Structure 1
Amino acid sequence: MLVTGFPAGMFQTNCYVLAHDGADECVVVDPGQDATEPLFRFLNESGVTPVAVLLTHGHLDHTWSVEPVCEKFGIPAYIHAEDRYMLSDPIRGTGPALAALLGDTEFAEPDEVAELVDGFSLDLAGITFGVVHTPGHTQGSVVFTVDVDTPDGTLAVALTGDTLFAGSIGRSDLPGGNHDQLLRSIAGSLLPLADDTVILPGHGGQSTIGQERASNPFLVGLSGTEQGKL
Structure 2
Amino acid sequence: MLVTSFPAAAFATNCYVVAPAAGEECLVVDPGIGVLDTLAAVLAEHRLRPAAVLLTHGHADHVYSVTPVCSSNGVPALVHGDDRYRLADPFATLDPQLLAMLEAQFGASATWAEPSDVRTVTDGEVLDLAGLTVTVSHAPGHTEGSVMFALPGVPDDLAPAVGATSTVVSGDVLFAGSIGRTDLPGGSMAAMLASLRDKVLTLPDDVYVLPGHGPATTVGRERRTNPYLLQVAAEHR
TM-score (norm 2): 0.90
Per the TM alignment, residue 71 of structure 1 is displaced from its structure 2 partner at its CA by 0.6
Give the secondary-structure state (helix, strand or coil) at the position aligned to 2:38.
helix
Per the TM alignment, residue 23 of structure 1 is displaced from its structure 2 partner at its CA by 4.1
The count of corresponding residues between Structure 1 and Structure 2 is 227
Give the secondary-structure state (helix, strand or coil) at the position aligned to 1:174.
coil
- Per-residue Cα deviation, 1:11-50 (whole angstroms, up to 9, x for no partner): 1100001111244210000000011110011101111110
Label 1:93 to 1:24 Cα distance change in 2 as closer, same or farther (>3 A). Answer: same
Question: 5+ unaligned residues in a row in structure 1: which ranges?
Answer: none
CA contact (8 A) 2:164 2:208 kept: no
Question: 5+ unaligned residues in a row in structure 2: which ranges?
Answer: none
Aligned to 2:3: 3
Matches within 5 A, 1:40-51: 40-51=40-51
CA contact (8 A) 2:9 2:33 kept: yes
Give the secondary-structure state (helix, strand or coil) at the position aligned to 1:91.
coil
Equivalents in 1 of 2:137, 2:97: separation in Å? 30
- Per-residue Cα deviation, 1:140-170 (whole angstroms, up to 9, x for no partner): 1000000116698982101000000000000
Aligned to 1:13: 13
Q: Which amino acid aligns with 2:39?
A: L
- More moved, 114-123 vs 97-106: 97-106
RMSD between aligned residues: 2.1
Aligned to 2:214: 204
Q: Which amino acid aligns with 2:132?
A: I
- Per-residue Cα deviation, 1:105-154 (whole angstroms, up to 9, x for no partner): 23221110000111101100110000000000000100000011669898
CA contact (8 A) 2:126 2:136 kept: yes
Aligned to 1:52: 52
Identity of aligned residues (%): 48
Equivalents in 2 of 1:97, 1:209: separation in Å? 36
Matches within 5 A, 1:49-198: 49-103=49-103, 104-106=108-110, 107-148=112-153, 155-198=165-208
TM-score (norm 1): 0.92
Q: Which amino acid aligns with 2:109?
A: T
Per residue, is there more strand in 1 or in 2? 1
Equivalents in 1 of 2:173, 2:101: separation in Å? 24
- Per-residue Cα deviation, 1:85-122 (whole angstroms, up to 9, x for no partner): 22221133434444323443232211100001111011
